[in-house]
């Protein structure tokens, strides 16, 4: 069966099958994928009829029961709640199925962390991804002090805070330790503002040991960059999209999240510029190199689906064609690295590669910092280590060596 019109839906969901088929078509599902979705709808409709239920009974518990019985009946595909998302999304959008209930945290720790997350979002304007990271980082601390009970918070001391950091951070990587102390300071500030602790304990959080500029940026060599770009099959839609993403990362040194956040309006073709929203939600304009513009143009003409669901510049290849996430951009780089035989390559390594290439082409550290949008010049200074020609002039001869 290869045509959605051949799927027969009987039961409580029958009246909604034509609309669901149209929805799938609009979202960019292929006929075969749409058939699978409609077959799932047909099974769910039969199950509801046999249970004496209507579409208004499709709560979270009922959906769980359905997929469990579907698995028990021997089905191997579309047997999870996640697989029901397209159907449930459509039925909820037209007001037939009930909206999902927002689960309240069941423990004091969960409720405290939820309030902390809301504080970061609303009061501090922190990005969603950073909120998730902060909440995850302080969860062990909340558990360690008694799970967020108010009576335990009132007895919290500076010694408790310091002891936690001293015990936890040595077991973490340098980056994770820095995240722990940063998030913990935010949490303690929140507890003080909310009146849950009598005085601020932010000063009790020791700094995580960090040696700035101690490492070397791990850039790819030009030959490796070429292999990475050549791994994209530009005769296919996926290859054109991936090539445009990789070219942008390599030439402009964007972060994965910045690429994912680009919209069609962010490409100013007339001015030859790209509007990038970076850390702190700061919007800045970068020059659009010719090769980057050509790669984007090729993707927009022959790669970006007409059924794209939003104005994101880069969208998913598979339906529904929504904008790529930061993780999706990172996966593009990882997949290209494997195809090129370079092993595990992460998106941030291409940022180092872009900076290193600019330095080798004669760019100054100040110019590189402007392209990478570093707030402090010290952040860019690490690339001085890879400027071997400049370092050679500073190196002193080895004692006793021949000149």
Give the count of domains, the chain: 3
Confirm whether pTM is higher than 0.85. no
263 plus 176 within the same structural domain: no
Catalytic residue flag (residue 351): yes
Res 182: pLDDT: 95
* Residues spanned by the domain of 172: 108-204
* Radius of gyration for the alpha carbons in the chain, expressed in angstroms and rounded: 27
In a domain, 358, yes or no: no
Q: Pick the catalytic residue from 168, 255, 321, 349.
A: 255
Res 163: pLDDT: 94
Q: Pick the catalytic residue from 10, 136, 279, 281.
A: 279
64 plus 130 within the same structural domain: no
Rounded to whole angstroms, the Cα distance separating 169 from 188 reads: 17
In a domain, 393, yes or no: no
Token pair for 149: 């009970």
Catalytic residue flag (residue 92): no
38 plus 123 within the same structural domain: no
Q: What is the CATH number of the domain that holds 123?
A: 1.10.150.130
3-state secondary structure of 221: coil
pLDDT digits (tens, 9 = 90+) for 332-373: 999 999 999 999 998 988 988 888 888 887 887 788 788 888
In a domain, 244, yes or no: yes
Catalytic residue flag (residue 255): yes
Q: Which among 254, 275, 273, 272 has a CA at the least distance from the CA of 263?
A: 275
89 plus 135 within the same structural domain: no
Domain boundary residue among 335, 350, 365?
A: 350
| Most distant CA atoms of the chain, gap in Å | 94
Q: What is the CATH number of the domain that holds 311?
A: 1.10.443.10
pLDDT digits (tens, 9 = 90+) for 70-89: 999 999 999 999 999 999 99
316 plus 199 within the same structural domain: no
Which residues of the chain, if any, have pLDDT below 50?
Answer: 394
118 plus 77 within the same structural domain: no
Q: Pick the catalytic residue from 43, 304, 351, 352.
A: 351
Res 102: pLDDT: 73
In a domain, 166, yes or no: yes
Res 390: pLDDT: 56
In a domain, 234, yes or no: yes
Q: Pick the catalytic residue from 348, 360, 373, 385.
A: 348
Question: Which letter does DSSP use for residue 312 in this model?
Answer: B
Catalytic residue flag (residue 25): no
> Which residues on neighbouring strands pair with residue 273, listed in sequence order?
268, 287
In a domain, 183, yes or no: yes
226 plus 344 within the same structural domain: yes
Q: Where are the alpha helices (DSSP H) in 52-107?
A: 60-72, 85-93
226 plus 327 within the same structural domain: yes
84 plus 121 within the same structural domain: no
342 plus 228 within the same structural domain: yes
85 plus 112 within the same structural domain: no
Q: What is the tally of helices (H) and strands (E) in the chain?
A: 18, 3
Rounded to whole angstroms, the Cα distance separating 381 from 99 reads: 52
In a domain, 226, yes or no: yes
Domain boundary residue among 331, 350, 369?
A: 350
242 plus 279 within the same structural domain: yes
Domain boundary residue among 326, 350, 374?
A: 350
Res 394: pLDDT: 47
In a domain, 355, yes or no: no
């Amino acid at each position: 069966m290869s045509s959605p019109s051949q799927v027969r839906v009987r039961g409580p969901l029958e009246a909604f099958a034509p609309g669901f088929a149209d929805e799938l078509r609009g979202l960019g599902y292929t006929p075969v994928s749409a058939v699978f979705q409609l077959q799932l709808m047909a099974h769910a409709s039969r199950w509801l009829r046999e249970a004496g239920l209507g579409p208004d009974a499709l709560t979270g518990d009922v959906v769980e029961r359905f997929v469990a019985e579907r698995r028990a009946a021997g089905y191997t595909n579309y047997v999870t709640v996640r697989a029901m998302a397209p159907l449930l999304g459509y039925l909820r959008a037209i007001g037939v199925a009930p909206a999902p209930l927002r689960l309240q945290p069941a423990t004091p720790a969960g409720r405290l962390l939820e309030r902390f997350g809301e504080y970061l979002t609303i009061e501090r304007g922190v990005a969603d991804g950073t909120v998730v990271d902060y909440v995850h980082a302080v969860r062990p601390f909340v558990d360690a002090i008694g799970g967020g009970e108010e009576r335990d918070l009132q007895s919290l001391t500076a010694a408790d805070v310091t002891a936690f950091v001293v015990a936890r951070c040595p077991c973490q990587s340098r980056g994770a330790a820095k995240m722990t102390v940063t998030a913990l300071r935010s949490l303690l500030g929140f507890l003080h503002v909310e009146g849950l602790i009598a005085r601020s304990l932010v000063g009790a959080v020791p700094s995580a040991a960090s040696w700035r500029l101690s490492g070397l940026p791990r850039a790819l060599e030009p030959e490796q960059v070429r292999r990475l770009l050549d791994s994209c099959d530009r005769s296919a839609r996926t290859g054109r999209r991936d090539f445009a993403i990789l070219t942008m990362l390599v030439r402009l040194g964007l972060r994965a999240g910045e690429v994912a956040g680009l919209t069609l309006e962010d490409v100013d073709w007339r001015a030859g510029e790209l509007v990038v929203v970076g850390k702190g939600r700061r919007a800045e304009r970068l020059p659009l190199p010719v090769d980057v513009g050509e790669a984007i143009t090729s993707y927009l003409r022959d790669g970006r689906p007409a059924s794209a669901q939003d104005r994101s510049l880069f969208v998913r290849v598979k339906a529904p064609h929504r904008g790529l996430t930061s993780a999706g951009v990172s996966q593009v780089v990882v997949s290209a690295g494997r195809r090129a035989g370079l092993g595990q390559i992460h998106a941030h390594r291409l940022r180092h590669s872009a900076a290193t290439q600019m330095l080798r082409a004669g760019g100054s550290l100040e110019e590189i910092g402007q392209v990478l949008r570093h707030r402090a010049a010290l952040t860019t200074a690490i690339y001085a280590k890879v400027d071997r020609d400049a370092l050679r002039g500073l190196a002193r001869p080895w004692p006793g060596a021949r000149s």
